Structure 1
């Protein structure tokens, strides 16, 4: 017991003498402690690299359609470093093999529900809308002009998952993406569709019954029209402070060519609207 105590005292004395020599020697360097990086700092750096890849395409990278003889778009815009911290950017949207338009994009660097559907050769993302009662599903084909093939697969329906199955396959993932801003406004006449579904009584004066809504027995519907107004909710850049340690490898993609969208009612688990975005600058519903 005494020997062990003496050894401990000698070690303590050696450590004290080393500490005194360090303090007395002016050129003695101590090894700095490695500062712990905060998740949001890591996210900001990767976010800037992600955006730079897209922004520099307009300055240094040839268009994917440059091989076509009729494509002669000149890239005259200059890269601006301060754009890396914005939550919106201007970027090309490829309408066709020979046409592009500059459209505003919203930047997402956050946790989104994501799935890749092999049978459809498409990526599926869920985005928030202005109302919490609905959600927006974007279906992006693998190839720039694969929308026609995607539509064909959906129409054939052979071994193709339905929308409910697609939603079930979606899981929360770290996603870095740019989504074109689009504002869809329009009115759709639903009369013919409802009649084809067998809903006819409300359109016939002698059979229509609107007593839960009015006491007038003569009320009936001539036609039913649906008004649509779709906006994507803006997301903040820094949304990964609590999630960085959980999601190591972000999924990076650019939604910069035609895609499908679907508006789902969360409570009823029902598709309300489906359509195509062929040009984000066009608010007409396709």
Structure 2
């Protein structure tokens, strides 16, 4: 039985074989499994948390490859459904010299966009402790209604709700639609992982603390704002704090934030009192920072996500 269910998009990232080149100049691409919720599901499984993935892929070679990849990583894919109407989503990822990336998506529509409320596995959600989702599945119907149905089902069952706004502006009709959709997901969450770029986009201010206060609502237990090389800042109803990140040789930042989310959620599931203990939460964010840092050292998202042993060895060397 899965403790955590991750819901949303599952896709193929095509990553250039060389760093520091644009899509037009890349000599070749490597196929890598990806999609933020899928990355988190694998990250959790590798860190020892029973996880499942819920969503939709094409009944094509890429869709079956993704299902097999998640299953091989220990993720329960029984809530995953296959579409004969649309193909699996693709994303071509351009890596700059600093490991940061740009995306070009192929989803017109893709199978994940066609996930319906009727395809939500209610039984799996009711047996879980946590549901994690992102904003991409809120962009269009029917996946928007399916996502909201899953979240409402999880809330009614007493699950923790984890949310990553995960801004991908080119996928939305416009900036206003993106803000509305991203805020809709945030309002239903107990745990939010958000980047400084996303707080600025949603609130119009570069003052991170003020932005997080603006986004805060009474049902939130934890909001963690990531700041890239500057680590993260965390907010609870009782206290705030910060955790430094780690210096590594970054090759590909794809999936780093998802690794951070997995590192954070595994600790929350293992010890729910981390919400109310500043020392515990600081250590947990340090662990999550380590997972995120290690996820940048190999090309591709899922291939780079570390297991618990690797994270602990890394932390011992710091």
* TM-score where L is the length of structure 2: 0.24
Flag the structure with higher strand content.
1
* TM-score where L is the length of structure 1: 0.26
Return the structure number with greater relative CO, CA threshold 8 A, min gap 6: 1
